[in-house]
Amino acid sequence: MMNKSGGAFVDASGIAVLARGLTVARGDRTVLHSLDFTVPPGRITGLLGPSGCGKSTLMRTLVGAQARVTGTLDVLGRPAGSAALRSRIGYVTQAPSVYDDLTVRRNLEYFAAVLRPGRRHRAGRRADVTRAIADVDLTSHTDTLAGRLSGGQRSRVSLAVALLGTPELLVLDEPTVGLDPVLRRDLWTLFHRLAAERGTTILVSSHVMDEAERCHRLLLMRDGRILAEDTPDGLRERTRTPSVEAAFLHLVDEAAARPRPVSTAVPGHPRTPQQHHSRHRINGNTGSTGINGSTDQEATR
Ligand SMILES: Nc1ncnc2c1ncn2[C@@H]1O[C@H](COP(=O)(O)OP(=O)(O)OP(=O)(O)O)[C@@H](O)[C@H]1O
């Protein structure tokens, strides 16, 4: 089934991601505290919050690369970590995962062969590789060794890898860090094009508040909790502030003035009724592989 924009229809409910009571522990601490949120399909949702608030952990959980998870997390209508989701999600981590001793094209060809093995897919793979390189504006560097690229160019190779399988959901962990303003603008143009033309659902994290204005919707996070879930306009109006940054600070102050919930249940030992009552319980030790090759070993941390 297809939606209006030509992308895949994700769920009868029209929700790409649904989290209820989502809790994650890392080390000896709970780092995500009973999160409730949704991500709409075919839109760009920004995950914003200060360093260490849990953005990467949430993204790892979405792609099934995080252990010690309780609660409900449905992604494209299936429990996070399901094997069936692997080819439907593109995940770009903060550290570009490319082979320095291969050219841009060879890097892409390698990952394309993993996604669609077999001689009969050769022509299709070639077309996918050429399109993905053009998507990230690296056509003029097709035959350059990845090791000779700048940091920003290497991140774009990682993004091209994630775009290879035409994913329905793209999960991007701080993709614009360290990029100059022109490249940042070009990347945001690409994200909007992917959402509008291919119906791709994009979840993109950032700790730069001015990037919030470029998103259709925002999830504002702090200390492993969702402070707000709204459009940029909605946030400004609701807090009567002139910018998303000011709205964020307003919400931080508001939250600080409220008493905190007492419980931080350790995953595996749910204490709240909500945690017992999941529509799709997710497997806390699932170690499915994101497109950038997150491993079972990583899933245990
Ligand atoms: N391997 C780990 N073991 C234990 N705790 C961890 C581990 N990795 C991260 N944490 C903790 O989990 C919390 C959330 O970290 P996370 O990387 O998800 O935050 P973030 O918002 O993505 O930060 P940044 O923007 O700096 O990448 C932090 O308090 C961090 O110290």
C-alpha of residue 259 to centroid of ligand 1, in Å: 24
| pLDDT at site 57 | 97
Is-contact 203 12, C-beta < 8 A? no
| pLDDT at site 240 | 96
Residues 6+ apart with CB under 8 A from 143: 103, 104, 105
Please name the residue whose Cα sits nearest to atom 25 of ligand 1: 51
Pick from 148, 149, 216: which is nearest to 183 by CA?
Answer: 149
ipTM of predicted assembly, 2 dp: 0.97
Q: Confidence class of residue 288 from pLDDT cuts 50, 70 and 90?
A: very low
Please name the residue whose Cα sits nearest to atom 16 of ligand 1: 54
Q: What is the pLDDT of residues 166-197, one digit of tens each?
A: 999 999 999 988 788 888 888 899 999 999 99
The pick from 26, 47, 264 for probing ligand 1's pocket by mutation, whose C-beta has the most ligand atoms within 8 angstroms, reads 26
Strand pairing partners for 217? Answer: 45
CATH class, 17-257 region: alpha beta
Domain ranges across the chain: 17-257
Is-contact 144 103, C-beta < 8 A? yes
Closest ligand 1 atom number to CA of residue 207: 25
C-alpha of residue 28 to centroid of ligand 1, in Å: 12
pLDDT at 10 over 70: no
Is-contact 133 142, C-beta < 8 A? yes
pLDDT at 7 over 90: no
Is-contact 224 54, C-beta < 8 A? yes
The pick from 55, 91, 93, 94 for probing ligand 1's pocket by mutation, whose C-beta has the most ligand atoms within 8 angstroms, reads 55
Percent of the chain beyond pLDDT 70? 82
Pick from 19, 55, 24: which is nearest to 39 by CA?
Answer: 19
C-alpha of residue 179 to centroid of ligand 1, in Å: 22
Pairwise CA distance, residues 219 & 233, whole Å: 13
Strand pairing partners for 229? Answer: 219
As a whole number, mean pLDDT of residues 273-286 equals 37
Mean residue pLDDT across the chain: 84
Place of tokens 């319980």: 281
C-alpha of residue 144 to centroid of ligand 1, in Å: 34
| pLDDT at site 11 | 53
Q: What is the pTM of this model?
A: 0.83
Please name the residue whose Cα sits nearest to atom 24 of ligand 1: 51
DSSP calls for 218-252 = EEEEETTEEEEEE-HHHHHHHHT-SSHHHHHHHHH
Pick from 51, 49, 47, 40: which is nearest to 61 by CA?
Answer: 47
Q: Confidence class of residue 268 from pLDDT cuts 50, 70 and 90?
A: very low
Pairwise CA distance, residues 17 & 168, whole Å: 12
Pairwise CA distance, residues 101 & 38, whole Å: 40
| pLDDT at site 194 | 95
Cα 234 → chain centroid: 22
Which residues surround ligand 1 with Cβ inside 6 Å? 26-27, 31, 49, 51-57, 207, 301
| pLDDT at site 262 | 57
